């Protein structure tokens, strides 16, 4: 085979690899919503076969569940927004060479916060000036989910090729311009992956917010457990699991789009 033909074949193989990868990713992204749908259908079919008594029907009904689902989404969305507002600027700050000494202590502190039992943090904050309710739950959830976004921001920025940074500085860009135009765009896929993890953590942990009066899907789970209704508990828990899968799917789509565009 001649050299031009070999190069063409090599180029075709390289071009085909991303296409194959994208097709594989597309198929995997379909799995989560399908699992969520099949799981919910199965659980509701089981609950229908067992029959729900009047108490279960008062808690497990479309109107009540819609309210709790909306509360759960508000808890998840607000807490994740707080994480993004705090963790990304903090990650950028400690990724700078001048902040090398404090990087490890800050990451260790975030790791310690995530290691704390989420239920304990929520209850302890309830005795703070914040009191009971939504603000306390949002703060507690944000503290528990800081680490993945903070860590991924630092790692994403540190993985940027130094030659690209030096080239940007060589053509006259300031440190701020280099950060905004070169480093952050290249680090965005890794940062989005951290936000995805934080979202999933918050969806699950938000179920504990019911213990301080913040509502959410933990309310029907708690109510059914207290009343000794296992079928009702299963239905409420399945909805939380399905919501987590849907959030993972949506965040995966966003992450995939970012990685494809950045590539």
pLDDT tens digits for 82-123? 999 999 999 999 988 888 788 888 888 888 877 777 777 888
Which pTM does this prediction carry? 0.79
Pair 114, 144: CB distance under 8 Å: yes
233 falls within a domain: yes
State how far the Cα of 58 lies from the Cα of 229, in Å rounded to an integer: 12
CATH number at residue 227: 1.10.3720.10
Q: Measure the CA dihedral 44/196/109/115, to 10°.
A: 20
1 falls within a domain: no
223 falls within a domain: yes
100 falls within a domain: yes
41 falls within a domain: yes
From 53-62, 81-90, 127-136, 237-246, the region with the lowest mean pLDDT: 53-62
Q: What is the DSSP letter of 215?
A: -
pLDDT tens digits for 48-61? 777 777 777 777 77
162 falls within a domain: yes
**Which residues form the domain of 195?**
22-262
State how far the Cα of 207 lies from the Cα of 222, in Å rounded to an integer: 9
235 falls within a domain: yes
Q: Nearest 5°: phi and psi at 222?
A: -60, -45
Give 123's contacts (C-beta < 8 A, 6+ positions apart). Answer: 211, 212
State how far the Cα of 254 lies from the Cα of 248, in Å rounded to an integer: 10
Q: Tell me the HSE value of 9 on the side-chain side, using a 13 A CA sphere.
A: 6
64 falls within a domain: yes
Our count of domains for the chain comes to 1
């Amino acid at each position: 085979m001649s050299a031009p033909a070999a190069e063409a074949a090599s180029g075709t193989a390289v071009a085909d690899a991303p296409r194959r990868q994208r097709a594989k990713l597309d198929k995997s992204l379909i799995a989560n919503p399908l699992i969520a749908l099949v799981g919910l259908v199965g659980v509701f079919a089981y609950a229908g076969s067992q029959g729900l008594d009047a108490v279960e029907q008062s808690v497990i009904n479309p109107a009540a569940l819609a309210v709790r689902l909306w509360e759960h989404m508000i808890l998840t969305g607000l807490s994740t927004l707080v994480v993004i507002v705090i963790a990304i600027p903090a990650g950028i700050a400690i990724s700078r060479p001048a902040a090398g000494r404090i990087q490890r202590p800050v990451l260790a502190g975030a790791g310690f916060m995530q290691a704390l039992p989420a239920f304990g943090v929520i209850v302890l904050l309830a005795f703070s000036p914040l009191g009971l309710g939504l603000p306390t739950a949002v703060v507690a959830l944000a503290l528990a989910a800081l680490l993945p976004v903070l860590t991924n921001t630092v790692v994403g920025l540190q993985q940027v090729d130094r030659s690209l940074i030096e080239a940007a500085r060589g053509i006259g860009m300031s440190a701020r311009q280099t950060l905004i135009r070169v480093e952050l765009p290249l680090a965005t896929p890794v940062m989005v992956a951290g936000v995805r993890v934080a979202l999933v953590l918050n969806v699950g942990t938000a179920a504990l917010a019911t213990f301080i009066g913040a509502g959410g899907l933990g309310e029907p789970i708690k109510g059914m457990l207290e009343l000794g209704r296992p079928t009702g508990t299963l239905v409420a828990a399945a909805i939380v699991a399905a919501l987590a899968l849907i959030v993972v799917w949506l965040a995966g789509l966003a992450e995939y789009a970012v990685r494809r565009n950045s590539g």
